Structure 1
């Protein structure tokens, strides 16, 4: 986490923005201008988050957050965590099947600052890592509750291009959102992260020098499933509806650290494999 305003596009907040940007609730009497507007939109959200001070920490911090979602002539983009996804396949408005394929760019803030635990702090801060990769997915709008609920499944891959952890993270994701009315929606999500050995080395290993400084035992981690996350999201329009105007959004999630990422001393001894997250924010759709 950065010591100043953290540019943190939240998973849940971004998912919430995704719903507000969706072309749901078609008017009975749309004008040509309204139909054209559905092909391009922008939603920006800001809020506050309560989250672990690093992945695996049992100390929590409050931090500001920002997220965005939109599309230009049916080409969509959205933020997830600290990553930007851009879909190179256009997704027209309305019920149907949407395919996703495109690039990802992101920033990894893990253990860059604001580490509360003194033993983990003694291991040293990490430099900010730049990530790049891609994703593929498929979504269906109009599935269970109405023509406007959505189920999306995707897989993302990013690699460290800055030489900080010199490895990769693979993330399968599934998300379901449904409108409750023109002004409210809820959603559920699940995801998991599979991280390479370089990720484990950079953020979870304790070498001999680090053990002397921190008092933690020496530990060497290997690649594997890093965590599994389950989340809930929701939102309510304060002005207009879910398509236009100001809205209130909330999200919460639970993550369970796995394998060597849970066995590392920074998680097992001075942290916790159980990770909780909560956020609330305001978003405006143009």
Structure 2
């Protein structure tokens, strides 16, 4: 559900890919106040990681800054920045926990391709870890734009896998006015062997059942993503009231993860996520 979190993060905050920590206090940190945004959106996403079939789903979200501490809850992901943001154009050191509930292939009913269904479902995975990052408010366009870089690590602690995923991220956010804002971002995922085994391998029995060839995935860079997001206030401004949020992410699968039959035969290296929704900022 990353695209929804990214779009929501622009209300009124700087954006951050939700497999990594939120950078949720840019505008409110400059203004020196608290802000909480809640919303829900329609998310256009694939059946499973690597699929070429897409469906619309509804995802909730909340993001904000309270007492200088930023947090994000978006769909299946949550994180908190435990280092308080300082008001005004300044540097911001970020660090805190992150958790993800990974539903990838946990329901066969949601997968259209019969070959992938024949591989069997996976248990829902709980992934937990942390992040560190550095942000700068007041970079190019005004005292309110924001550039940040971060890296996160999360590890499967229950369910389908016990592997770790490293994710470096860079993003930029700027208000266009008191009622509109846009952002761009880029990130990449490095996955350990156990992640590929859980979601991209095909063993001999699965090959016989599905018709897909046997395949073993090595650890390595799994993908990279780029995207954009925006928001327009409908009532009030970016710091208060209702607004429309929207965003999109393009992901390119890499290395063995792209060569897996689930991607190269049954799916696609090119992955898309889109979102449009409604949010309210207190």
Distance in structure 1 (CA, Å) of the matches to 2:5 and 2:263 = 22
Pairing 1:50–2:44 present = yes
Unaligned residue ranges in structure 1 (runs of 5+): 1-6, 28-34
Q: What does residue 212 of structure 1 align with?
A: 208
**Alignment equivalent of 1:228, drawn from 224, 246, 271:** 224
Question: Retained in 2: the 8 A contact 1:17–1:45?
Answer: no
3-state SS of paired residue (1:161): strand
TM-score, length-normalised on structure 2? 0.91
Q: What does residue 102 of structure 1 align with?
A: 96
TM-score, length-normalised on structure 1? 0.90
Question: Retained in 2: the 8 A contact 1:45–1:283?
Answer: yes
1:164-203 alignment, distance < 5 Å: 164-203=160-199
Q: What does residue 32 of structure 1 align with?
A: none
Pairing 1:243–2:239 present = yes
Distance in structure 1 (CA, Å) of the matches to 2:196 and 2:133 = 27
Q: What does residue 18 of structure 2 align with?
A: none
Deviations 1:210-252 (A, max 9, x none): 0011000000101111110000000100000000111101001
Q: What does residue 60 of structure 1 align with?
A: 54
Over alpha carbons, which structure has the higher Rg? 1
Does 10-19 or 253-262 show the bigger shift?
A: 10-19
Q: What does residue 76 of structure 1 align with?
A: 70
Pairing 1:17–2:11 present = yes
Unaligned residue ranges in structure 2 (runs of 5+): 15-23
3-state SS of paired residue (1:19): coil
The offset of 1:18, in angstroms, is: 5.2
Distance in structure 2 (CA, Å) of the matches to 1:139 and 1:90 = 12
Q: CA RMSD in A?
A: 2.0
Distance in structure 2 (CA, Å) of the matches to 1:194 and 1:81 = 22
Q: What does residue 127 of structure 1 align with?
A: 123
3-state SS of paired residue (1:211): helix
Aligned residues: 271
Distance in structure 2 (CA, Å) of the matches to 1:169 and 1:81 = 19
The offset of 1:88, in angstroms, is: 1.0
Distance in structure 1 (CA, Å) of the matches to 2:249 and 2:2 = 15
Q: What does residue 250 of structure 2 align with?
A: 254
3-state SS of paired residue (2:158): coil
Cα separation, partners in 2 of 1:57 and 1:25, compared to 1, 3 Å: closer
Question: Retained in 1: the 8 A contact 2:144–2:175?
Answer: yes
The offset of 1:39, in angstroms, is: 3.5
3-state SS of paired residue (1:98): strand
